[in-house]
Amino acid sequence: MPVYPEIARRLKIEGSVTVNALIDESGNVIDTEVIKGIKNDSGTHRAAEAAVRKWRFNPALVNGVPVKVWMPVALVFKVE
């Protein structure tokens, strides 16, 4: 899960951030970009990208061979 930025938490900013992750042949995230975010994000975009960069995935396969692929990942920020 992403670290909820303190400023966003104090301002009660909530919503979903969709990060497009480039996953390499080994399942590592090698690049990210926010493709849908929260207006006045107050750090949620950076937090979402940082979280996704730490994840590992099963690599995509084409004819049994691992390939690089872009995959959208949605992360939800909600004040509890």
pLDDT tens digits for the chain (80 residues)?
A: 899 999 999 999 999 999 999 999 999 999 999 999 999 889 999 999 999 999 999 999 999 999 999 999 999 999 98
Q: For residue 71, give Cα distances in angstroms to 7, 14, 40, 43, 79.
A: 28, 23, 24, 22, 26
What pLDDT is recorded for position 29?
98
Q: In whole angstroms, what is the distance from residue 13 CA to residue 23 CA? A: 29
**CATH numbers and ranges of domains, the chain:** 6-77 (3.30.2420.10)
* Alpha-carbon dihedral angle through residues 2, 5, 9, 12, given to the nearest 10 degrees: -90
